[in-house]
A = this chain, B = another copy of it.
Amino acid sequence: MSSETEALAAKVEGLLARVDELESRAALRDLVSDYCIGFDRHDWDRFIAIWHEDAVWAIGEPFGDFVGHEGIREAVFEVLYPAWRETNHLTTNLRIAFSDADHAVASCDVDCMGASPDGVVQMVGATYKDTFERRQGVWKIARRDVQMHYFNPIPGAEMTSPQGN
């Protein structure tokens, strides 16, 4: 190989690693979005696909901690959905730090507007602390810790759709 070609090859290898990280950022952002979309719209396939088989979902008070796909299924169907008539999670401030090409920690902030089964409108503010791992080429959540900042009703508010859905 000529020295020009060698220099070019080195640049391309550098680009491959940088583009891989940019694509990883997009993949991690999608996981964070799919948590909200999957949970709020009751799309179980989308929701469970974001978690590794042995993932830990440490919600803490008032709901508890859950381990593995079976634990997560229990959290969703036996604990959370019975506690909410509807939820609307919005996540932002996603801040990712890679330790290597396949491991990252991140935090994001969430605003959730929801209604309890008796129709009380609740506002929830929390931070999710995530550990992401890429295994067999696929990024998923290995652990999510939930730190709640507030969880309170909006006095007198109702939550209804003008579209009847």
Interface of A is mostly: mixed
Q: Is the CB of B15 within 8 A of A4?
A: no
Q: Mark A121-139, 1 if CB is under 8 A from B, else 0.
A: 1010101000000000000
Residues of A within 8 A of B (CB): 1-2, 4-5, 8-9, 11-12, 15-16, 18-19, 22-23, 25-26, 30, 32-34, 36-37, 40-41, 60-62, 86, 88-95, 107, 109, 111, 113, 121, 123, 125, 127, 147-165
Q: Is the CB of B4 within 8 A of A163?
A: no
A161 interface neighbour in B121, B149, B160, B162, Cβ under 8 Å: B149
Give bound CA distance, A94 to B157, whole Å: 28
